[in-house]
Structure 1
């Protein structure tokens, strides 16, 4: 049975800056150098948000093969012409306002990033230049708010967690919302949606009018993690590294819920940064949180981190199990320390300029078989550099699991091979096997998980 579709011409619900003729031309260009295919992929992910199969990057285009989007620059501003768009994005022939806003956010970010890079306005070979690019993209998306007290909590976790863990993320989100804290996630379902859903109720109870539910994604992952319906500020960063930097630059504290390899990648990214000597005195609340059923999951994460990076790494995070109120309290108190530190160091509340991030954490990692095999996963280096390459290993597994390019590489050349310190490799293999056993690596449309990696133990 064919999926119902709608064709329509829509204007931005919340207003949008005009586009140049060059930007419109590139957004309509379907050749290799154009932006049309990227726009179409991201737009369709937004239009199907909220469905049960959103996390399958391959099925979206199979379900809507005739979908088309065109950007029109008219006298009164930008319009989008949608053909054969998913009908569930419309009510009585009119597009849902929230989806409208996210669609134009897609257009805004894709056009801005492409034109700024082409104009050479970002120095992407320099650490400060990359941070500047992250700042400019976030500023253009209007998510940086001056004169606002620190209150943004980043929540990480899996998109396909179980029902018990999902309900728990809502409970934590509720207690965060009661304390006036806003939520930022990777914008998808599961642990990225639950905290936002819980916070909406608490924010309404507290009669808070200005509520931020920020979703930060990137082109390679958006189809696998379509924006959930609660996101009211969507930002599409150019790649996973700038997405991760955006999280830690604008967030005032981070909660990690249960997840899979993507969550492990995020943990290693942040800990690798916090372990750098230049960041030793910087307060940054980091809490691993979950219901009692998730205790074993975090125990495995904790054991792996201590084995690979040393016991001192545990000083940078706290594990809180089965206590949503305590989780919110710990983060809230931690953010108070962040506020004091920013005032004393004369740093902005809305962007953490003082956090030192080395180029190894910023340069995009291309997960090819050669690059995965060349990772230095041994202890003969500073802990923060080992964390950087461990992060890349997990990033490659994520790509092999859900990203189009990674899945294609696995289909053509077989699993990625991961090698390194024997003790670390045994611990890594054990942890990944536990993720599989707990169905944290199960992919949509499959009854079992076939690993895209082979760890040499």
Structure 2
């Protein structure tokens, strides 16, 4: 269906002087029909807060390009924002009021942002109709959870058979220096020249740079339309609004399913400098790879950055060694200041993944053989009680320790940028995280380094810690 937008008027938000626009948007090759029941669920506040969820995710998408990584502030900045479904015989349209003006050019919504808006609608509707999700996220078996992840990715058209493995997942911070950002583009460019597609958390910084660089590499090789996959979840989307380069967007129900989607759909992972969220991702993946069932499974993992980030990765490597041991350090390689070497390592590693999956008769498009234990699948609610009760000591098996460390960092991310987490800190004070001193001391030092290097919040934002480390 062709895009048809009818901007009504420019309005002015008096509280914060933020320009807004009202418009009617038609879908761009996305979900364009809904049942009456689905429309009713989206408009009825009593239906498990579905409208509230849809509204907050839609506003985050429309806020793309603005320097804001505070979910609570975003909702307060645009209090009059509203989005309504117009049901017509030929399909649906979205009536948006009080939308950030930055999402429009000459009164017309930017096409990429419009596509993301309907992707949000598609995934929110799909998740609300998935009985296994609505029955209770914490009661799913490991196999069922993985099946849910598969179905959500398939519904978003990210699962595509008959394509050789070529998806590189890129992790890294949304708050990085310009030198680090430029480096992510150079790595993306080298991977694009080699026909590798990019998947990220879809936000700014290290999530945008590799995609931007890959577009040039793909264009030089005349590869046509390539894949720039973004995977997010409702809690983080406000802090990391999908950048417009993303042409395949999936909104997973929670952070655990988002992380599983990365490791199931991706064929290799490159990690750039980042903060607490990047540490969470590293702990998640290493915890999974340390499971005995995954010992022989090939999964290329590279840590990389410009020469200026050498100390950053030295500290990350030391932290992993102290907490998870030498076995965890063997699962990755560190390549500094050499974008071509990173791309070559990914190309070689993904070739090994292809050979392994062909030999074991596993799918190229979804990593079914990877063992993900319940510790990494069950949603973790970062309440003050749950954060305080985390067991963090060396008596735990390494993959269980990694799971609890991942939860600790996940809670810090929530307290830093997520609406509910920020409100919980304002209401009840700092999260308290305690554990064995030989682990908590390195955790404290790592978080202090993130804070001193400005990796917790976007540049110019004042950062107040949301946590207290108890040794």
- Shorter-chain TM-score: what band? over 0.9
- Matched residue SS, 2:128: helix
Q: CA deviation at 1:377?
A: 0.7
Contact 1:6–1:83 (Cα < 8 Å) also in 2 = yes
User: Distance between the aligned counterparts of 1:333 and 1:71, measured in 2?
Assistant: 47
Q: CA deviation at 1:118?
A: 7.0
Q: CA deviation at 1:122?
A: 8.8
What's 1:417 paired with? 432
- Matched residue SS, 1:4: strand
What's 1:110 paired with? 124
Contact 1:28–1:34 (Cα < 8 Å) also in 2 = no
What's 1:451 paired with? 465
What's 1:349 paired with? 364
- Matched residue SS, 2:378: coil
Q: Output one character per residue of 1:11-69: Cα deviation in whole Å (capped at 9) or x when no partner.
A: 11224252221111111123462311111111111112012x23232332333222110
Contact 1:372–1:417 (Cα < 8 Å) also in 2 = yes
Q: CA deviation at 1:176?
A: 0.5
User: Distance between the aligned counterparts of 2:135 and 2:440, measured in 1?
Assistant: 41
User: Distance between the aligned counterparts of 1:442 and 1:122, measured in 2?
Assistant: 33
- Matched residue SS, 1:349: coil
- Matched residue SS, 1:44: helix
Q: Which runs of 5+ in 1 are unaligned?
A: none
Q: For residues 233-312 of structure 1, what are the structure 2 equivalents within 5 Å?
A: 233-312=248-327
- Matched residue SS, 1:334: helix
Contact 2:26–2:93 (Cα < 8 Å) also in 1 = yes
Q: CA deviation at 1:432?
A: 1.0
Q: For residues 205-216 of structure 1, what are the structure 2 equivalents within 5 Å?
A: 205-216=220-231
Q: CA deviation at 1:362?
A: 0.2
Mean Cα deviation higher: 409-418 or 121-130:
121-130
Contact 1:56–1:445 (Cα < 8 Å) also in 2 = no
Q: 1:391 to 1:246 in 2, by over 3 A?
A: same
The alignment's TM-score, normalised by the length of structure 1, stands at 0.96
2:93 is equivalent to residue 79 of structure 1: yes
Mean Cα deviation higher: 31-40 or 273-282:
31-40
What's 2:5 paired with? none
Q: CA deviation at 1:153?
A: 0.3
What's 1:28 paired with? 43
What's 2:208 paired with? 193
Q: CA deviation at 1:86?
A: 2.0
User: Distance between the aligned counterparts of 2:429 and 2:57, measured in 1?
Assistant: 28
Q: CA deviation at 1:3?
A: 2.5
Q: CA deviation at 1:450?
A: 2.0
2:383 is equivalent to residue 368 of structure 1: yes
Q: Which runs of 5+ in 2 are unaligned?
A: 1-13
Q: Output one character per residue of 1:70-125: Cα deviation in whole Å (capped at 9) or x when no partner.
A: 11221111211111222222223322211111110000000110111378689852
Q: CA deviation at 1:349?
A: 0.6
- Matched residue SS, 1:145: coil
Q: 1:352 to 1:122 in 2, by over 3 A?
A: farther
What's 2:187 paired with? 172
Q: For residues 62-77 of structure 1, what are the structure 2 equivalents within 5 Å?
A: 62-77=76-91
User: Distance between the aligned counterparts of 2:408 and 2:291, measured in 1?
Assistant: 20
**How many aligned residue pairs are there?**
455
User: Distance between the aligned counterparts of 1:197 and 1:410, measured in 2?
Assistant: 36
Q: CA deviation at 1:149?
A: 0.6
Q: Output one character per residue of 1:320-376: Cα deviation in whole Å (capped at 9) or x when no partner.
A: 001010011101100000000010111111100000000110000011111111111
Mean Cα deviation higher: 161-170 or 372-381:
372-381
What's 2:54 paired with? 39
